[in-house]
């Protein structure tokens, strides 16, 4: 936020929107074979080749209402840890470059929750009046 002031603000501080940024932290188990979204792929594309990557985070596909955030990211930091027993883990931080794009489904399930063949009385009369 960039500090700003106006004579008519009555002594209250004002701000102008400034630069925005975003980061994503991800983690997972270290796999023996490479897949498109494991730490080896992130290090190869983001750290070694210094290429921007596309990140997309969303609700499960089976969810009734979908919410998704997406955007271009650059590799920032990563760590890998391996205990003497159990699985090896990794954590990475990706720095957003450019706009973070939210995509979400409107809450139509709340508005159109009653099908026309429902056993309950209609609560909205399409002629413009309300019925009970």
Instruction: Identify which of 90, 70, 93 has the alpha carbon closest to the alpha carbon of residue 27.
Output: 90
Residue-range domain boundaries for the chain: 21-107
Write out pLDDT tens, residues 94-107.
999 999 999 887 65
Q: Could you count the other beta carbons within 10 Å of the beta carbon of residue 111?
A: 8
Half-sphere exposure of 9 (CA within 13 A, CB side): 9
Write out pLDDT tens, residues 69-121.
999 999 889 898 988 888 889 899 999 999 999 988 765 545 555 555 666 55
- The Cα–Cα gap between 66 and 120 comes to 28
- SS3 state of residue 46: helix
Spatial contact of 74 and 47, defined as CB atoms under 8 Å apart: no
- The Cα–Cα gap between 56 and 116 comes to 37
- pTM higher than 0.75: no
- The Cα–Cα gap between 77 and 92 comes to 6
Q: Could you count the other beta carbons within 10 Å of the beta carbon of residue 26?
A: 16
R_g over Cα of the chain: 24
């Amino acid at each position: 936020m960039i500090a700003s002031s106006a004579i008519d603000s009555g002594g209250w501080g004002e701000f102008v929107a400034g630069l925005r940024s975003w980061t994503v932290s991800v983690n997972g188990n270290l796999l023996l074979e490479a897949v498109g979204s494991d730490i080896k792929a992130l290090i190869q594309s983001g750290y070694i080749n210094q290429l921007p990557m596309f990140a997309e985070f969303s609700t499960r596909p089976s969810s009734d209402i979908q919410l998704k955030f997406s955007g271009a990211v650059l590799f920032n930091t990563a760590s890998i840890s391996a205990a003497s027993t159990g699985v090896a883990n990794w954590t990475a931080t990706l720095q957003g470059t450019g706009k973070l794009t939210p995509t979400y489904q409107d809450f139509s399930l709340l508005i159109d929750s009653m099908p026309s063949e429902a056993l309950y009385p209609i609560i909205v009369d399409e002629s413009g009046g309300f019925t009970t």
